[in-house]
Amino acid sequence: MRRKFVAGNWKMNKTISEARQLITELLLALKPLEDIDRAVCPPATALPIAARLLEGTGVGLGAQNMYWQENGAYTGELSPRMVAELCQYVIIGHSERRQYFGETDETVNLKVKAALTHGLTPIVCIGESLEENRAGKTAEVVSRQTREGLADLTPEEGARLVIAYEPVWAIGTGLAATAEDANAIHRDVVRPALTEMFGDEVAQGIRIQYGGSVTPENAAGFFSQSDIDGALVGGASLKAESFAAIARAAAGA
């Protein structure tokens, strides 16, 4: 049985005081949901206050990105050592990073390896664009991103991954994939690729979240599917009540 995992990607939203407010509200709402894993991923400036507020609560903390080098002349970047001082998770290869900041499967792979080396759990994002979807290339793209982004990992490292399948056309658009279509990608494309790389036992244990316009209204439909093991939530994670409602749906699935 894979334990459900719901994570909130706040993107470039919330000042430090706004983050303090949202986390304070969230802690009350998420407290009873101890049967699932829960995490928030605020912007970098809010990570220290978030780490302080979340300590000992069972709610995890993630960064939204990091560089793969340990330190040095990389202006503007955060190193895995810095992220690991505050966080348990790090989102790697979000489609907005791929789209606006030139991230590739190769840089995703370097970041995933660095995260694992430093004891972080990477939440590795994959997903096809609208054009790729319309051209019938979803399986090909998602399979390639999985294999290249996770290349050269050992099965022990594979067992520590979380994957987030996020079709780019569904992110922030209000047009979520259907639960059945998302599940088919998880079950028939992503997990078989993981099985080839890490073996069946490891692949069966890796959580595959769905992301893309998840809301309190549609969440339960996703979580009832065989291979949807949680959600990476953007817009709906910015309000305590909507994020908590999604987490409750996961806990009840």
Half-sphere exposure of 168 (CA within 13 A, CB side): 20
The conformation of residue 212, written as its DSSP 8-state character, comes to S
Nearest to 251 by CA among 87, 31, 65, 104: 31
218 binds ligand PEP (CB under 6 A): no
Is 94 annotated as catalytic? yes
Taking each continuous run of H as one helix and of E as one strand, the counts in the chain are: 13, 8
232 binds ligand PEP (CB under 6 A): yes
Question: Which listed range, 21-29, 33-41, 152-160, 209-217, lies at the site for ligand PEP (CB under 6 A)?
Answer: 209-217
Single residue of 185, 233, 246, 250 touching ligand PEP by CB under 6 A? 233
Number of residues that bind ligand PEP (CB under 6 A): 14
214 binds ligand PEP (CB under 6 A): yes
Return the axis-axis angle of helices 16-30 and 240-252, rounded to nearest 10°.
30
Nearest to 210 by CA among 251, 239, 179: 179
Single residue of 42, 149, 211, 230 touching ligand PEP by CB under 6 A? 211
Which residue's CB is nearer to ligand PEP, number 87 or number 233? 233
209 binds ligand PEP (CB under 6 A): no
Can you list the positions of beta strands (E) in 10-83? 37-41, 59-63
Q: C-beta of 53: minimal distance to ligand PEP in Å?
A: 22
61, 72 contact by CB (below 8 A): no
234 binds ligand PEP (CB under 6 A): yes
Q: What sign for the dihedral angle of Cα 98, 104, 109, 115?
A: negative
235 binds ligand PEP (CB under 6 A): yes
Task: State which of positions 149-178 bind ligand PEP (CB under 6 A).
Answer: 166, 171-172
Which residue's CB is nearer to ligand PEP, number 230 or number 235? 235
Is 186 annotated as catalytic? no
Which residue's CB is nearer to ligand PEP, number 10 or number 198? 10
Which structure tokens are listed for 185?
């990608």
Q: C-beta of 91: minimal distance to ligand PEP in Å?
A: 8
Residue linked to tokens 């660095």:
114
Nearest-angstrom CA–CA distance, 71 and 67: 9
Burial class (CB in 10 A: 0-12, 13-18, 19+), 152: exposed
Annotated catalytic residue within 118, 128, 166, 186:
166
Q: Which are the catalytic amino acids?
A: 94, 166
Q: Which residues bind ligand PEP (CB under 6 A)?
A: 9, 11, 166, 171-172, 211-214, 232-236
